Structure 1
């Protein structure tokens, strides 16, 4: 989009373009070119007036328009661009759909399928944080904690602060520190000492490691209720780590946060 700060129609068109392109889920990118700051670029594209919109594919202009257009016209232009992409790149991977398929496979414990899908995504986009995080989660799930740590330690710096990566690294930290005892063995000890904060915490950790999310949450909630200030608020801090490891969209995180808020503010 070639525009200028003094151009009234540009201010009308820009939010419409942003809305339509943002709805494409990353399939189309919007480049905003201020002609006052980039006169050479405007000249190279033979821009006569602003706003001027040029649709590009593989570095070449394929369509465009000048002035303000109805939203439907712009949507048609975007659809034409996507059709060109399908014709020229029929085998291009639909990454959002692939990530959803991998997530479904993970939910069904089909780790081989999920791993294959994440591998295909990374072959297409070697900085895809969600795919890297998925790979690490698979390794954690199958007990390859050392290998999961190696993958985590070798991640590109560009994606280190991505929420997918920070979340899975929290999950990895918890996996590295999980207690050695089995859940049922700790449960027997807990039955004999139900108010023991150390055993309650150990049981929550074992439940987390076993994927018993609600049980892990409820155990730490019980610990906070009985021993609120135990070891400098350790139970509450650990519960927040669980939520981060699971991610904000996980139902266990949502229900757990409600339980924690209800307890703390009742």
Structure 2
């Protein structure tokens, strides 16, 4: 595939390819001589990733030769993994040569780094993020230091949220912040809970305490995106108006798009996603591929490993590859 028809490219249609880094120009393969970093294929994925992750966390870097940000991320990612004292392994998968796994995971933007533990995808990030953020990511999936790990507490907080025990989740986030006041996952999680509870001022106060070098962390960026989406939805008005327009004209893509924005703000994520998918299916060129671009913003707000994100990514992949 080329950059023009590759759905993994951003909304702009592709990345520049003039960035070079270590080794042979234009390459992104495993660093020579580094036993912790290797290339992986579709055939070797089960052994090199799923089985190996039962022994230690494995990071999979999904990249392509035409992707400029992939080339920016690679040397920084390899450096941090190399300095992790063997706490994680890194493998690289070229999605042009091996698209199946990325398609199954619903990955639509690269670079994407997914962490696997015990045979399961547990966390991830997209884009050429800063070195400090990669270190935080590895600490989160592999843990650091003796005693109770922040990653374990954060996992428990996520589980508490999923079961509806929001107070326990708040307490767990605050436990992490008592020891690590700049932990972006705990700050983002706490702000997200406050926002969901209707305390936007409290959520904004929490975000204001995020250190400058961690403001682009995925958990923090996701809450900021939710703020922006909520503001957009609030400005649109009554969803009944858009429902009436769609009843009169099912091809009114603007009405369907605006209704999706409101549905997302009301917590109806599946309905919002389905409306945007309908636009992509009927007319991907509408508003310069605006429906797909908006879905990517939803994914950022919902989280890469969120169930609705994963389900919608799979549906989107089916549409784009059909």
Query: What's the offset of the Cα at 1:249?
Result: 1.1
Name the SS of the counterpart of 2:198 in structure 1: coil
**Bigger Rg, structure 1 or 2:** 1
Which of 88, 95, 104 matches 2:150?
A: 95
Higher helix proportion (structure 1 or 2)? 1
Per the alignment, residue 43 of structure 1 pairs with: none
CA contact 1:204–1:216 (8 Å) conserved in 2: yes
The 10-residue stretch of structure 1 (101-110 or 214-223) with the greater mean CA deviation from structure 2: 101-110
Deviations 1:187-214 (A, max 9, x none): 4553333221222012211221222222
Per the alignment, residue 290 of structure 2 pairs with: 234
Per the alignment, residue 46 of structure 2 pairs with: none
Work out whether 1:178 is the aligned partner of 2:216. no
Query: What's the offset of the Cα at 1:233?
Result: 2.1
Distance 1:186 1:140, change over 3 A: farther
CA contact 2:246–2:256 (8 Å) conserved in 1: yes
Aligned pairs (5 A) from 1:49-128: 93-128=148-183
CA contact 1:93–1:121 (8 Å) conserved in 2: no
Work out whether 1:253 is the aligned partner of 2:309. yes
Tell me the distance in 1 between the aligned counterparts of 2:148 and 2:197. 27
Query: What's the offset of the Cα at 1:100?
Result: 1.6
Work out whether 1:151 is the aligned partner of 2:230. no
Name the SS of the counterpart of 1:97 in structure 2: helix
CA contact 1:145–1:175 (8 Å) conserved in 2: no
Tell me the distance in 2 between the aligned counterparts of 1:117 and 1:110. 11
Name the SS of the counterpart of 1:194 in structure 2: coil
CA contact 2:184–2:210 (8 Å) conserved in 1: no
Query: What's the offset of the Cα at 1:135?
Result: 1.0
TM-score (norm 1): 0.60
Which of 117, 142, 152 matches 2:197?
A: 142
Tell me the distance in 1 between the aligned counterparts of 2:289 and 2:204. 27
Tell me the distance in 1 between the aligned counterparts of 2:256 and 2:274. 10
Query: What's the offset of the Cα at 1:222?
Result: 0.6
Q: CA RMSD in A?
A: 3.0
Deviations 1:116-175 (A, max 9, x none): 211111001112111011011112212223432343243111322322223332233222
Name the SS of the counterpart of 2:233 in structure 1: coil
Per the alignment, residue 21 of structure 2 pairs with: none
CA contact 1:200–1:219 (8 Å) conserved in 2: yes
Tell me the distance in 2 between the aligned counterparts of 1:120 and 1:177. 34
Per the alignment, residue 190 of structure 1 pairs with: 246
Tell me the distance in 2 between the aligned counterparts of 1:177 and 1:245. 14
CA contact 1:145–1:176 (8 Å) conserved in 2: no
Name the SS of the counterpart of 2:251 in structure 1: coil
- What runs of 5+ residues in structure 1 fail to find an aligned partner? 1-13, 32-81, 86-91
Tell me the distance in 2 between the aligned counterparts of 1:217 and 1:124. 38
CA contact 1:103–1:114 (8 Å) conserved in 2: yes
Name the SS of the counterpart of 1:177 in structure 2: helix
More contact order relative to length (CA 8 Å, sep ≥ 6): 2
Which of 211, 221, 238 matches 2:267?
A: 211
Tell me the distance in 2 between the aligned counterparts of 1:120 and 1:258. 36
Deviations 1:85-142 (A, max 9, x none): 5xxxxxx644222212211222233322211211111001112111011011112212
